[in-house]
Amino acid sequence: MQKSATIVVTGAAGFIGSCLVALLNEKGYNNLILVDDFSRQDKTPNLENRKFSSKQERESFFEWLTLYKPAVDFIFHIGARTDTTEFDYAVHQHLNVDYSQKIWRYCTANNIPLIYASSAATYGSGDLGYSDDHDLPFKLEPLNPYGVSKNEFDKWALLQKSSPPFWAGLKFFNVYGPNEYHKGRMASVIWHAFNQVKKDGLVKLFKSHRPDFKDGQQLRDFVYVKDVLNVCYWLMENKPASGLYNLGTGKARAFEDLVRATFSGLDKPARISFIDMPEDIRDKYQYFTEANMQKLRQAGYRQPFHSLEEGVDDYVRNYLATGKYF
């Protein structure tokens, strides 16, 4: 059924943003305002056959809002500079902090609910745990400029006296799934593993450079993009208490498990070798992440998450193997 609400999605041509556009279309929302840097041709297929009312370039979006004053009902601010190997902090400051503050102020002034993308990169080494309570951001020390920028915005949001009528900052853990074909080095390990298997018949994983972790046993909370979309949609519909929410599965899994699941999705026996981790990320590398999902569950979210094996199998068989988009 067609729904009349107007929804803005920033980062609409990217991985999670384009999947969200697809889900909203599926739910009957076609009056979408898509915001991104649309100059990248490799992202174009992500939005093929999608229904929307307007496409706006990221850098001129606020001028367009001022000029046309559209009646907006909800904003998903998914757009960000997500490259953890980009060490020029000014880039992150502009896109992840300043731009997000503009979105927040617009939502506040116009009484528009807001969901924005934060990140598990804010947790740094994880020494302080992975709780999404509101005291922790002020103590965290992220490991790279991307994580710093995301944490700076979280802190700023928490300190605001004026806010949107509902807001949620989602701390995405390791999201994987369709529509990440354009991401290159920053794509998920499953995407890289799939391409290595097709090319060489084996997968290379980083060795551990810490004595307390065996090679391939570095642990991350891998969450399937379909689960991320379900949470986003549920939050939009239900609007529980505003604040930061972790978004992972709540269960850390080894990279080796991930790769074995990728081979399984291709109906092939696993072949894995280990290589040195690049110097530029070695001392900035998270060896363990695991979302504490208590807050979202207590807010009333009941749906189960895909297990690693279920999510990877669906992604490999139904998307990567066929080159299909979400």
Catalytic positions, written as ranges = 146, 183
* DSSP-derived secondary structure for 129-173: -----SSGGGT---SSHHHHHHHHHHHHHHH-SS--SSEEEEEE-
- Distance CA(270)–CA(203), nearest Å, equals 8
The two structure tokens encoding residue 187:
């794509």
Judged by DSSP in three states, 305 sits in coil
The two structure tokens encoding residue 46:
């992500």
- Planar angle of CA 131, 10, 281, nearest 5 degrees: 55
Label residue 1 exposed, middle or buried (CB < 10 Å: 0-12, 13-18, 19+).
exposed
* DSSP-derived secondary structure for 182-200: GGGGGS-HHHHHHHHHHHH
Residue closest to 175 by CA, chosen among 255, 127, 100, 119: 119
Beta bridge partner(s), residue 29? 3
Q: Cβ–Cβ contacts within 10 Å for residue 222, how many?
A: 28
- Distance CA(140)–CA(294), nearest Å, equals 20
Alpha helix segments (H runs only) across the chain: 15-26, 61-68, 89-92, 99-110, 145-159, 189-200, 225-238, 255-265, 279-282, 294-298, 308-315
